[in-house]
Amino acid sequence: MAALAATVLALGGALGDSGRAPAAAAAASPAVAVDPAAATKRLVSSLQRRLRVDRQDADALTRLGFAYEQRARETGDPSYLVKAEGVLQRSLAITPNSADALIGLGSVALSRHDFRRALRLARRARAPYGSAVLGVVGDALVELGRYGEAFRTFDLLAARKPGVAAYARVSYGRELIGHTGAAIEAMQLALAASAGRPEPTAWTSVQLGKLELARGRLDAAARRFRAALHVFPRYPYALDGLAFTEAAHGRLRSAMTLSRQAVAAAPLPQFVGTLADVYELAGDRGAMHEQYRLVGAIERLLRASGVRTDLETAQFDVDHGLRLGDALRLARRAHRDRPTVDADDVLAWALVRTGRCDEALHFSRRALRLGTRDATKLFHRGMIERCLGHDGAAARWFRRALARNPFFSLRWARIAEEYAR
């Protein structure tokens, strides 16, 4: 699930260089060392006071919407998305076709995984076709599987406004086509461009950690996660990443502590999933199943906040052998809404886990069509070949997965090692 870790918060809204949302972080004072979200909190309070004086202040409503989105990123609390949508809709009612309000609503739609709506909103705001609009358009196109258009949009964004937003998206595009080293180079540029803004700095550090982890470099990944925690203490994405590296090293007590901290900071499904896997490695199956139930409860809350979780829920359930028939139905529905290489892979995984091996092979081939070198996708292909009785081909796919990243999963890497022999 961490591999999908746009998770609740899509790339688009998180890294806008529009001058709106990042303004909160740019206003950092010495207090940020204690509370890196202090500037955002102050901005929210200031805008709320301003709106008590004038409820029709469209500019304040728009800025408050972006500030609420920033709080969603800082806390992982999807209720801020509901608040952001409310004030942005009020702003749009006062100033119809406001580009800023439309971009903000598009970003909320991205965060909720409603990518078609995000694209519609962004295209309403396309004149002038500014950098913030390009970011939302490109992110929506990626998540709709329209990769050629998306990559051209990212290139245009990088040409028009180099910065965190552009470099991060270029990095993601390079990762999708299997160029991990080049993806790291672009994300390092994003990290440099984020200097002085705690949450973007922490976010880009975490992405660098994930890129290092994707090529099996546990220690390098851990250093990136610790760097994120240095600028943003208790940053849940960094805590979760560090918990994974500790578990992969076999340091389960440390992993459990870090994973519990991540869940306490932001009870998101992928963090709870990591904790469940750590409990499984520790042999505590009771605690593991308790986390499974918690994931289900959190997903229901996310759906209540308007977040579409079909793909993530399907992947979690298939990975953990839960309600496989329902998971396959979810995976098919998610694939219709979100025809990406990740959706291809989740559907292939659901199909093979329910014995539909021939159909699974078709979607696995599609999942690898961009040249992506993700070890999880390679492992899934191995499981499909094994299901088809192609033992030699299966062993080769397992070896490829392990060569790419021998720590790709706390649950499945050991199975890959066994089947690769």
CB 391 within 8 A of CB 402: no
Comparing 56-70, 107-121, 296-310, 386-400, the range with the smallest average pLDDT is: 296-310
Instruction: Write b or e for each residue in 133-148: b if 16 or more Cβ atoms lie within 10 A of its Cβ, otherwise e.
Output: bbbbbbbbbbbbbbbe
Tell me the CATH architecture of domain 162-232.
Answer: Alpha Horseshoe (1.25)
pTM above 0.85, yes or no: yes
Q: What is the CATH number of domain 314-421?
A: 1.25.40.10
Tokens of 240: 């979760």
How far, in Å, CA of 303 to CA of 98, rounded? 28
- Residue 351, both tokens: 């199909």
Rounded to whole angstroms, how far apart are CA atoms 280 and 282?
5
For 47-102, the pLDDT digits (tens) are 999 999 999 999 999 999 999 999 998 888 888 999 999 999 999 999 998 999 99
Structure tokens at 210: 């994930």
User: What number does CATH give the domain 234-308?
Assistant: 1.25.40.10
| Rg of the chain (C-alpha set) | 21
**What angle (nearest 5°) sits at the alpha carbon of residue 296, between those of residues 295 and 299?**
85
Distance separating alpha carbons of residues 199 and 266, to the nearest angstrom = 15
The string of pLDDT tens digits covering residues 125-176 is 865 567 889 999 999 999 999 999 999 999 999 999 999 999 999 999 999 9
Give the side-chain half-sphere CA count within 13 A for 166: 16
| 15's tokens | 């890294």
Write phi, then psi, for 24 (nearest 5 degrees): -65, -45
Contact 211, 222 (CB under 8 A): no
CB atoms near residue 174 (< 10 Å): 21
418 burial via Cβ count (<10 Å: 0-12, 13-18, 19+): exposed
CATH 1.25.40.10 range(s) for the chain read: 9-25+33-140, 162-232, 234-308, 314-421
- Percent residues over pLDDT 90 in the chain: 81
How do residues 6-24 score in pLDDT, each as one tens digit?
322 333 333 344 333 332 2
- Predicted confidence at residue 9, as pLDDT, reads 32
Task: Calculate helix-pair angle for 375-387, 357-367, nearest 10 degrees.
Answer: 160
Q: Which CATH number fits domain 9-25+33-140: 3.10.180.10, 3.40.50.720, 1.10.10.10, 1.25.40.10?
A: 1.25.40.10
CA-CA distance, 328 to 92, in Å (whole number)? 39
Task: Give the CA angle between residues 228, 409, 300 to the nearest 5°.
Answer: 75
Rounded-to-integer distance, Cα 385 and Cα 361, Å = 8
Instruction: Give residue 232's region: left, alpha or beta (phi > 0; psi -120 to 50).
Output: beta
Whole-number Cα distances in Å, 59 to 69, 93, 378, 392: 16, 12, 48, 63
Helices (H) and strands (E) in the chain, counts: 24, 0
Q: Tell me what pLDDT residue 130 has.
A: 73
Give me the residue label for tokens 């922490």: 202
